[in-house]
Amino acid sequence: LARKDSLFLTLLPSQFYLNQARWDIAGGSKVVYSNKYLLVQGFSLSSGLQKITAATQLQNNDESILISTENLDLGQLGTWAGLAAYQPDGRVNGTITIDKIFDDLFINANIRATDVKLGADTVGTISLIGDYDGKKKLMRLDPQTGIFRGDASVVASGNISFDTTTHQKLDGVIQFNNAPVVWASPFLTGIMSRLSGTLNGSVAFNGASYAPEMSGTVNLQNAGVHIDYTGCSYTIPSAVVNVTTRRISFGNVKLFDAYKNTATLTGHFSHNLFKNMHMHLTIASQKFEALNLTSNDNNVFYGHLIAGLDSFTIKGPFNDIKMELNNATPAAESRIYIPISSGSGDVSGYTYASFKTIGTTQEKTARKSKSKISINIDANINSLAEMHIVLDPTTGDEISAKGTGRIIMDIPPNNDIRMNGLYTIDNGTYTYTYKKLFLQKRFNLQSGSTVSFNGPFGSTTVNVDAVYKAKARLIDILNEADQAALSGNDRTDAQTRQDVDVKVKMAGYLTKPDLTFDIGLEDSHSQGTVGYRRLMLINSDPQQQVEEVSSLLLFGAFIQPDAIAGATVQSGAINSLSQALSSTTSATLTNMINRVTGNKDLSVTLNYTNYNYNDPSSLNTGNRNLIYGGLGGNFFNNRLNVEVGSTSDWGKPTSASNTSNFNITGDFRIQYQLAKSSGVRLSAFRTSDYDVTLDRDITRSGFGIGWRKSFDNFSEFFHGNKYAAKQNEELLQKVKEEEKASDSAAAKKQSGTN
- The confidence score (pLDDT) of residue 83 equals 67
Which contacts of 434-439 are long-range, i.e. CB under 8 A and separated by 24 or more positions?
Answer: 434/395, 434/554, 434/578, 434/581, 435/394, 435/395, 435/396, 435/608, 435/625, 435/627, 436/627, 436/629, 436/648, 436/662, 439/554
What residues form DSSP beta bridges with 386?
335, 402
- The confidence score (pLDDT) of residue 352 equals 31
- The confidence score (pLDDT) of residue 569 equals 43
Q: Which residue has the higher pLDDT, 36 or 115?
A: 115
Q: How far is CA 201 from CA 173, 235, 399, 430, 648, in A?
A: 10, 20, 54, 58, 64
Asked whether the predicted pLDDT for residue 114 surpasses 90, the reply is: yes
Alpha carbons 254 and 722: distance in angstroms, whole number: 102
Percent of the chain past pLDDT 90, that is, above it, reads: 32
- The confidence score (pLDDT) of residue 661 equals 41
Q: Which residue has the higher pLDDT, 715 or 226?
A: 226
- The confidence score (pLDDT) of residue 367 equals 38
Cβ count near 211 (within 10 Å): 11
Q: Which residue has the higher pLDDT, 690 or 569?
A: 690
Q: Which residue has the higher pLDDT, 449 or 353?
A: 449
CA atoms within 13 A on the CB side of 208: 8
- The confidence score (pLDDT) of residue 664 equals 40
- The confidence score (pLDDT) of residue 501 equals 94
Q: What is the pLDDT of residues 63-75, one digit of tens each?
A: 789 999 999 988 8
Alpha carbons 318 and 274: distance in angstroms, whole number: 12
Arithmetic mean of pLDDT, 330-345: 71
When mean pLDDT is compared across 253-262, 493-502, 657-666, the lowest value belongs to 657-666
Q: Which residue has the higher pLDDT, 38 or 151?
A: 151
Give Cα 98 to chain centroid, integer Å. Answer: 56
| Contact between 298 and 275 (Cβ < 8 Å) | no
Q: What is the pLDDT of residues 316-331, one digit of tens each?
A: 988 888 989 999 999 9
When mean pLDDT is compared across 259-263, 340-344, 477-481, the lowest value belongs to 340-344
Q: Tell if the pTM clears 0.75, that is, is over it.
A: no
Asked whether the predicted pLDDT for residue 634 surpasses 60, the reply is: yes
- The confidence score (pLDDT) of residue 40 equals 86
CA atoms within 13 A on the CB side of 184: 17
- The confidence score (pLDDT) of residue 565 equals 44
User: How would you class 617 by CB atoms within 10 Å of its CB: exposed for 0-12, middle for 13-18, buried for 19 or more?
Assistant: exposed
In three-state secondary structure terms, 354 is: coil
- The confidence score (pLDDT) of residue 552 equals 86
- The confidence score (pLDDT) of residue 357 equals 30
Q: What is the pLDDT of residues 355-385, one digit of tens each?
A: 233 333 333 333 344 567 888 999 999 999 9
Confidence of residue 660 (pLDDT cuts 50, 70, 90): very low
Q: What is the pLDDT of residues 5-33, one digit of tens each?
A: 778 888 889 888 887 888 898 888 888 88
What is the rounded average pLDDT for all residues in the chain?
Answer: 79
- Contacts of 719 by beta carbon, 8 Å cutoff, 6+ apart: none
When mean pLDDT is compared across 222-236, 283-297, 538-552, the lowest value belongs to 538-552
Alpha carbons 235 and 613: distance in angstroms, whole number: 48
- The confidence score (pLDDT) of residue 747 equals 67
What residues form DSSP beta bridges with 202?
175, 217
When mean pLDDT is compared across 430-444, 462-476, 541-555, the lowest value belongs to 430-444
Alpha carbons 362 and 372: distance in angstroms, whole number: 25
Strand order in the sheet with 667-673: 603-615, 620-635, 640-652, 667-673, 680-691, 696-707
Arithmetic mean of pLDDT, 543-556: 82
Strand order in the sheet with 6-10: 2-3, 6-10, 30-34, 37-41
Arithmetic mean of pLDDT, 461-471: 92
Confidence of residue 574 (pLDDT cuts 50, 70, 90): very low
